[in-house]
Amino acid sequence: MQIILGITGGIAAYKSADLARLLANQGHRVRCILTEAGARFITPLTLSSLTGEPCYGANPDQGEWRANPSIEHIELARWAELVAVVPATANIIGKAANGLASDLLSTVLLATRAPVLWAPAMNTGMWEHPAVQANLARLRSFGHAVVEPGEGVLACGEEGSGKLAEVAAIAEAILLHGTPKSRSLTGRRVLITSGPTREDLDPVRTLTNRSTGAMGIELARAFRDAGAQVQLVLGGDLPAPWGVETTRVRSAQEMLAACEARWGAVDGLVGAAAVADQRPEAYAAEKVKKGDGPETMVLVRTPDILATLSGTKRPGQWILGFAAESEDHLAHAAAKLQKKGLDAVLVNDIQGGRAFGAQANTLTPVTAQGPQAPIGPLPKDDLARAVVQWWGHRLEARESGL
Ligand SMILES: Cc1cc2nc3c(=O)[nH]c(=O)nc-3n(C[C@H](O)[C@H](O)[C@H](O)COP(=O)(O)O)c2cc1C
């Protein structure tokens, strides 16, 4: 994405360097515009070195806004696929809300047709002032996104709200706000399961598997970015993604209960979790001591989450399943599709240890029409976006009766 990062005059301006670097490392092109006050907190050299792109100053005699000052603001406004103002002062928020264009950043903000995102940072008194809140409400009414500041000890020594949101959360919000939305997924409610389940034997031992939950988390992000309202039921220890309602679970039984509680109110389910097929028959409340002779553990079947939910599917509701197979993967996927009444199964060929924790991966969708073109090999984040795009197109075709 081509991003204009506007940096205004607050102490938190130093954090925008981290944000610029993070976005550039993610492969985005980032051009910074400093306001005059912003340039008192951070230098253009820092920003242009981190991004490898020019950094623009407030006025034609500053930064790189020299070549053709009369049209540069229009060119920048057109170049931008998203404009983010981080940190945003009360001053720039007030100017943009009222259509003022007194320097390069405020002019670009007025001229651009790209999505705009604000990450305000200011003293609590300023943040809570009705004038600032009214200005933000006006910006929201233009379709702009606001990443709300958090609470904490502020640079002025006061404690309260007004602290710039975390840089990682702002980066996620930028991606979310800048990604084109899918027609068939916008506003749809999608339930996603991810991660391993853990079936406890006693307070210290557990039966689990090698899934990390990374793929389901990337799918949650990709559905979120496509415009869906995502609920994630997550096993394992990976951090939950931003902007997704996450419920943590441990066992297959807990995962089923969390899904059943949500199933009636969602449009579709993505079953990406690696659910244990068996659990120990009995749970010992105290740690089991080692015995002398051979030991056996009796296992019983856990509930089949996809099959259970599929059994109560409403017309129009859809289910995507995942399968990890080490042999004859397409045939197994086709059997799973039929047996569990799924709309598609995305199958991983895990021969040679691929898939679990691997960097790049390939998924082959299998539908009632048979195996489709494989998606990948791609890193998990790109793969998740490609899967969502593929499914979005299929839903569109289905809804238009094709
Ligand atoms: C040390 C210092 C810190 C400041 N921090 C903030 C801040 O965090 N948020 C804010 O809205 N204004 C802050 N200000 C005030 C702005 O710098 C001032 O309103 C300026 O005119 C903003 O201009 P700009 O929006 O064009 O960058 C600070 C001022 C100083 C001197």
Model pLDDT, residue 398: 87
**Pair 86, 145: CB distance under 8 Å:** no
Q: Mean pLDDT throughout 86-106? A: 96
- Residue 56: closest CA among 12, 27, 20, 98: 20
Q: Kindly state the percentage of the chain with pLDDT values over 90.
A: 75
| Cα distance between residue 318 and residue 164, in whole Å | 39
Q: Across 126-238, where does the E strand assignment appear?
A: 145-146, 150-153, 159-163, 189-194, 199-200, 206-207, 229-234
Model pLDDT, residue 194: 98
CA of 80 to the centre of ligand 1 (A): 25
| Cα distance between residue 140 and residue 215, in whole Å | 33
Q: Which residue in the list 32, 55, 156, 259 is annotated as catalytic?
A: 156
**How does pLDDT run across 112-124, given as a tens digit for each residue?**
989 999 999 999 9
Which amino acid residue places its CA nearest to atom 11 of ligand 1? Answer: 89
CA of 249 to the centre of ligand 1 (A): 44
Q: Is 233 in the pocket of ligand 1 (CB under 6 A)?
A: no
**How does pLDDT run across 271-313, given as a tens digit for each residue?**
999 999 999 999 999 998 888 777 888 999 999 999 999 999 9
- Stretch(es) of the chain classified as CATH 3.40.50.10300: 189-284+293-399
Is residue 69 very low, low, confident or very high in pLDDT (cuts 50, 70, 90)?
low
Q: Mean pLDDT throughout 131-142? A: 94
**Pair 83, 117: CB distance under 8 Å:** yes
Q: Across 116-220, where does the E strand assignment appear?
A: 116-120, 145-146, 150-153, 159-163, 189-194, 199-200, 206-207
Would the annotation count 336 as a binding residue?
A: yes
Model pLDDT, residue 66: 57
Q: Mean pLDDT throughout 130-144? A: 93
Which amino acid residue places its CA nearest to atom 13 of ligand 1? Answer: 10
Would the annotation count 322 as a binding residue?
A: yes
Q: Is 91 in the pocket of ligand 1 (CB under 6 A)?
A: yes
The residue assigned the tokens 């419920």 is: 247
Is residue 376 very low, low, confident or very high in pLDDT (cuts 50, 70, 90)?
confident
| Cα distance between residue 193 and residue 220, in whole Å | 9
CA-only gyration radius of the chain, Å: 25
Would the annotation count 103 as a binding residue?
A: no
CA of 160 to the centre of ligand 1 (A): 18
- Of ligand 1's atoms, which has the minimum distance to the CA of residue 12? 8
**How does pLDDT run across 146-177, given as a tens digit for each residue?**
999 998 887 777 788 899 999 999 999 998 88
Model pLDDT, residue 273: 97
CA of 212 to the centre of ligand 1 (A): 44
Phi, psi values for residue 214, rounded to 5° = -60, -40
Into which CATH architecture does domain 189-284+293-399 fall? 3-Layer(aba) Sandwich (3.40)
| Cα distance between residue 340 and residue 107, in whole Å | 56
User: Two tokens at 74?
Assistant: 């229009």
Model pLDDT, residue 242: 81
Residue 340 has pLDDT above 90, yes or no: yes
User: Two tokens at 70?
Assistant: 């009369």
Which residues, other chains included, contact 303 with Cβ-Cβ below 8 Å and sequence gap of 6+? 252, 253, 256
Model pLDDT, residue 45: 93
**How does pLDDT run across 234-265, given as a tens digit for each residue?**
999 999 988 899 999 999 999 999 999 999 99
Which amino acid residue places its CA nearest to atom 29 of ligand 1? Answer: 10
The topology under which CATH files domain 2-178 is: Rossmann fold (3.40.50)
Q: Across 173-256, where does the E strand assignment appear?
A: 189-194, 199-200, 206-207, 229-234, 245-248
- Stretch(es) of the chain classified as CATH 3.40.50.1950: 2-178
- Residue 210: closest CA among 199, 195, 200: 195
Report helix, strand or coil for 196. Answer: strand
Would the annotation count 305 as a binding residue?
A: yes
Q: Mean pLDDT throughout 369-376? A: 92
Q: Is 92 in the pocket of ligand 1 (CB under 6 A)?
A: yes
- Residue 87: closest CA among 160, 166, 25: 166
Which residues, other chains included, contact 127 with Cβ-Cβ below 8 Å and sequence gap of 6+? 90, 120, 149, 160, 161, 162
Which amino acid residue places its CA nearest to atom 5 of ligand 1? Answer: 10
156 is annotated as an active-site residue? yes
Phi, psi values for residue 361, rounded to 5° = -150, 160
Would the annotation count 277 as a binding residue?
A: yes
Is residue 239 classed exposed, middle or buried when 0-12, 13-18 and 19+ CB atoms within 10 A define those classes? exposed
CA atoms within 13 A on the CB side of 369: 5
CA of 14 to the centre of ligand 1 (A): 13
Mutate to test the pocket of ligand 1, among 15, 32, 89 (most ligand atoms within 8 A of CB): 89
CB atoms near residue 40 (< 10 Å): 11
